[in-house]
Structures are given as structure tokens and as C-alpha cells.
Amino acid sequence: MDQPAEYAILDHLREGCQVIGFDRRYRYVNAAAARHGRSTPIELIGQKMTDLYPGVEATTLYTLLERCLDQRLPAEFENEFTYPNGARAWFTIKMDPIPEGAFILSIDITDRKRAEDSLQEHVTRLEALRAIDLAIVATGDLTSTLEGVLERVVTSLHVDAADLLLYRPERGTLEYVAGCGFRQAEAGQTVVPFGQGLAGRTAFDRRAVIIEDLARHPEPPERGAWFADEGFVFYAAIPLVTKGNPIGLFEVFHRTALTPSPDWIEFLHALGAQASIAIDHGRLYRDLQRVNLDLTLAYERTIEGWSYALDLRDRETKGHTLRVTALTVRLARLLGTAEDEITHIRRGALLHDIGKMGIPDTILLKPGPLTDDEWKVMRMHPTYARDLLYPIEYLRPCLPIPYAHHEKWDGSGYPLGLKDEQIPLAARLFAVVDVWDALSSNRPYRPAWTQTEVFDHIQGQAGIHFDPQIVEVFLRERRARSA
Ligand code: C2E
Ligand code: SIN
Ligand code: SIN
Ligand code: FE
Ligand code: FE
């Protein structure tokens, strides 16, 4: 059928132009509009849209066309169009009532729409990579951080599920640490042998695998039953590697077949690389914490070992060190000492007589009073303690007790003859406790004193040997205990 001549001017426009009559038949279609419909003007003229495109009645386009024809209302909108062969296209459509019916102007904006979508896609992907970056910096629980990251990964890759398996060299396995999108909790129990089967070989060979449709894959996956239960059809796995060593596997699952674009695959690899860094960083941080903890524990054990050895040597003082340490810490807390400082005080108390390691048995274990020369040697023990502990940096803050516990409030003590508040508080505190416990115990050079004698002695030495304020707090605490 011929095209009406009055529209000839529109024939070669780039925009699609068509005129639909009140009878819903095509009256005019230019070449561009026919192309948009994958057709030719000749085939269309005189035909009804509803005959050519079954189902078109249900579309917004058709509804608006009817409204334009019947109610003489214009319309303008963006429309996604699906061709009979499944291809999709986007158009800007403008409809105007004209005397013959309706005039439709259509502009193909598919390229612009694709560009927008791909921009959005890039933004989503960048956000996912950024989430991993943040996870790298985060120092919290790595597993929960990874779960959050995987949720973004699933969104940005448009897949149903994803997980991370970590390599356990000691067990020769890859084990689940984080995942999302699974229907069954079983995913959390995933353990696959490293180097065997699809997943295991992917990690071992460090070569990614992408299976678009598991049903067509020659090798059934070793987790076949689980894949079937979950309904997975598509599978991809990216090996995780740091510094050339395998550390695990990043798996992606989908419940319909997928043919990923080169872009998508590249992004999957980027995610794998980023996840490797995140895991490596998390491990470094955790190992560092563990080494610190191990070292701290090792230090404490060492100190306790030394002080125990001292008590053993100074036979009669059995349990003295632990008792004075507990009592000194309790007193320090009563006086409102900060916990950091308490640590140093505890170490100082445990090591207070470490300098006696330098005192010969003949003097230390002498059953009677010391001679002047022997006293000179004995009085060296705080100085020996300082010489021994000062080079050990982490023990330096505990030195006030081993070095100054024999100073006296009136300035008559040793090794320096410090007075009142020149004496470090920890040492003033400790001195009261040490003498209390020494007098309450048997010594090689004398038997234990009675409680009353000890109380009277401490009270009597307030302002002479001891800080009077500390004596007050100490005796109040002792009386509360014994009451
Ligand atoms: P230690 O036996 O642990 O005693 C610590 C501190 O408790 C003494 O520091 C002293 O201030 C007080 N103390 C202990 N026993 C008595 C006592 O019987 N009377 C009085 N008033 N205070 C007492 P000090 O005097 O600087 O002594 C330091 C260390 O020297 C003692 O540690 C002990 O190992 C040794 N030492 C002190 N006196 C004698 C002694 O007569 N014979 C022997 N073999 N060693 C002594
Ligand atoms: C683990 O290795 O125990 C869990 C993941 C990690 O912290 O590296
Ligand atoms: C450790 O015991 O784990 C190491 C700390 C050390 O002994 O140096
Ligand atoms: Fe001492
Ligand atoms: Fe002591």
C-alpha cells in the first residue's frame, strides 16, 4: 500500500515518525520508525498494531495511544520495547493528536540507556571494591566484615550467592569463613580438599574457573548434591593469593545459567585480588595481636618464675612475695591508682628483692645479726635490682619498688637516703607492706612477731620509717580484714 504523499517530508528523518488512524491502523510510517519496528513501511501500512505485535494492548504505549486517539491527549514518555526475537530497545516517544488520528515521534535512546546502565554498574562495582578497602582498614572481627563485603559483591555481580573459603595448610583443606545468599545453613560447613575436585584444584592451580551451566559441565562438582539442593546452575571460583601463596578461594553461585561479559570477569578478578589483601591484612593484624599477647604472657611467667626462685632461696620467706604483691596491689587500688600503673606496681612487688640474687648465701641465710661489712653488702640489693632491671625496657617502669623500698620517710633509709615525698609513692606503699609481712614471718635471723607487736611497730614508725598517710590507710584495711 502506498504512503500518503503529504508526509513525504518526514520520510528520511532520523527520528521515527508514524501516523495511526482512528481505526488503529498504520496510515504512515517513515523509514526510521519502520527500522525501530524491525519492519518496512510497506509491510506496516494498513495493518493494526495489535495484529503485528500481539500483547501490545497491555503496554503503556498502547494505552496512551488509545487515550490520544479517543481523548485527544498528547503524551511523552520513555519506553522499553521488546522485539519478538527478545532484543530490547529504549525509545523516547512523543504522541500528538492530529486530524487523521495520532502522530507518534520516536527517538531511539537505547545507546544512552546502555551508557547509563553501565555507568550505574560501574558505580556499584566501585562501591563494592571500596567496601573491601574499608574492610582492609577495619580491625574488627574479620568474618563479619567479610560477610558485609560479600553481600555487596552479590549485588554488584548480580549473582545469587557468594562465599569465601580459606586454605588451612595444617589440614590440607579449604574451609568456609564467610558467605551470603545461601538457602541452607549447610554452606557454613563447607570443607573441600585442597588440590582435589573443581574448587580444590582452582585454589591449587591458582587458575579461575567459570562454569556457565553446571548441567552441561563434563565433571560433576563434588558438592553436587548441595549444588542441586541450592539450585545452583552457574559457578565461578577465583583463587585467593598473597605473596604468591594460596590463601583460599572466592566462589560465586547463580541459580540460572549466565554468560558473563569480559567486564564482569575482570571485576570478579578485581574482587578476588582485593579480598586477598583484606584477608592478608586481617591475619597480619591478628597474628601481631597474638604475638603481643604471647609475649606479654611470657614476660609475666618469667617475672613470676624469678620471684618464685627468690622465695625458694630465701627459704624462710616462703609465700612472702605473693602475699606482699597481693596486699600492695589491693592497697594501691584503695588509693585510686590507675590500672596501667597497677601493672607496674604488681611487677615491682614481685621483683622487689630480686637484688638479693647478688647477696651470698652466707649473708642472706645467716641465722644471726649482720656485721657492718655484711650490712654494706646487704644494702647493695636495691642497687643490684636497678642494674639488673634497668636494661629491660618493659620492666623499667616497675623500678621504684625494687630500687626504693628501703628508703625511709625521715631520710635515714638506703640506697639514696630520700625523704618523704621524694620517695616514689609505690615504694612508700610497698615498704609498709614488706615490713608488715617480714615481721609477721619467721626469718633466719629471728622468729615471727605477734600481730599486736606488728601493728604497734607499723603505727609507731608512722612519720619515721613510713609515710603516715599510708600507714593510716594500711592499718584501717588490716583491721577491717582481721575484724
Ligand atoms: P627482710 O627480712 O625481707 O626484711 C625486710 C625489712 O623488714 C627490713 O629491711 C626491715 O625494715 C624490716 N624488718 C625485718 N625484720 C625486722 C626486725 O626484726 N626488726 C625490725 N625492726 N625490722 C625488721 P632491712 O632492715 O633493710 O633489711 C633488709 C634485708 O636484710 C632483710 O630483708 C634481710 O634479708 C636482711 N637482714 C636484715 N637484718 C638481718 C639480720 O639481722 N640477719 C640477717 N641474716 N639478715 C638480715
Ligand atoms: C581465620 O583464619 O581463622 C579466619 C580468618 C582470618 O582471621 O584470617
Ligand atoms: C611465645 O611464647 O609464644 C613467644 C614469646 C617468647 O617466648 O618470646
Ligand atoms: Fe629488700
Ligand atoms: Fe621483702
User: What pLDDT digit, counting tens, does each position of 227-272 carry?
Assistant: 889 999 999 999 999 888 899 999 999 999 999 988 889 889 988 8
Over residues 204-220, the mean pLDDT reads: 88
**Ligand 1: distance of its center to the CA of 444 in Å?**
10
Residue range 312-332, pLDDT digits in tens:
777 656 688 889 999 999 999
Q: What is the pLDDT of residue 20?
A: 96
First vs last Cα of the chain: how many Å apart?
A: 119
C-alpha cell at position 121: 554498574
Name the band, by pLDDT with cuts 50, 70 and 90, for residue 305: confident
**Residue 295 near ligand 3, beta carbon < 6 Å:** yes
Of 351, 352, 378, 381, which is best to mutate to test ligand 1, by the most ligand atoms within 8 angstroms of its C-beta? 378
- What percent of the chain lies above the pLDDT cut of 70? 96
Mean pLDDT score across all residues of the chain: 88
The answer, yes or no, to whether residue 111 has pLDDT greater than 90, is no
Q: What is the pLDDT of residue 463?
A: 97
- Give the residue, 207 or 5, on which the prediction is more confident: 207
The answer, yes or no, to whether residue 1 has pLDDT greater than 60, is no
φ/ψ of 196, rounded to 5, equals -120, 150
Q: Given the C-alpha cell 614476660, which residue does it identify?
A: 299
The residue among 57, 89, 108 that closes a domain is: 108
Q: What is the pLDDT of residue 341?
A: 94
The reported pTM is 0.52
Residue range 55-81, pLDDT digits in tens:
889 988 999 999 999 999 999 999 888
Q: 453 vs 26, 75, 119, 448, CA distance in Å?
A: 121, 107, 88, 10
**Residue 213 near ligand 3, beta carbon < 6 Å:** no
Q: What is the pLDDT of residue 318?
A: 67
For 243-290, strand residue ranges (E) read 245-254
Whether 103 and 119 share a structural domain: no
Domain that holds residue 413: 314-482
Over residues 166-172, the mean pLDDT reads: 89
Name the band, by pLDDT with cuts 50, 70 and 90, for residue 54: confident
Q: Give me the number of domains the chain comprises.
A: 3
Q: What is the pLDDT of residue 94?
A: 94
Q: Is residue 268 part of a domain?
A: yes
C-alpha cell at position 146: 567479610
The answer, yes or no, to whether residue 289 has pLDDT greater than 60, is yes
**Ligand 2: distance of its center to the CA of 223 in Å?**
23
**What ligand 1 atom has the least distance to the C-alpha of 363?**
44
Q: What is the pLDDT of residue 393?
A: 81
Q: Which of 208, 250, 210 is nearest to 233 (CA)?
A: 210
Q: Report the CATH number that the domain containing residue 144 is assigned in CATH.
A: 3.30.450.40
Q: Is residue 307 part of a domain?
A: no
Over residues 413-432, the mean pLDDT reads: 97
Whether 175 and 218 share a structural domain: yes
**Ligand 1: distance of its center to the CA of 248 in Å?**
64
Q: What is the pLDDT of residue 278?
A: 79
**What ligand 2 atom has the least distance to the C-alpha of 279?**
8
Cα dihedral sign, 179-180-182-183: positive
Whether 474 and 341 share a structural domain: yes
Q: Report the CATH number that the domain containing residue 390 is assigned in CATH.
A: 1.10.3210.10
Q: Is residue 299 part of a domain?
A: no
Which range has the top average pLDDT, 40-54, 98-112, 451-465? 451-465
**Ligand 4: distance of its center to the CA of 1 in Å?**
119
- Give the residue, 11 or 454, on which the prediction is more confident: 454
**Ligand 5: distance of its center to the CA of 298 in Å?**
24
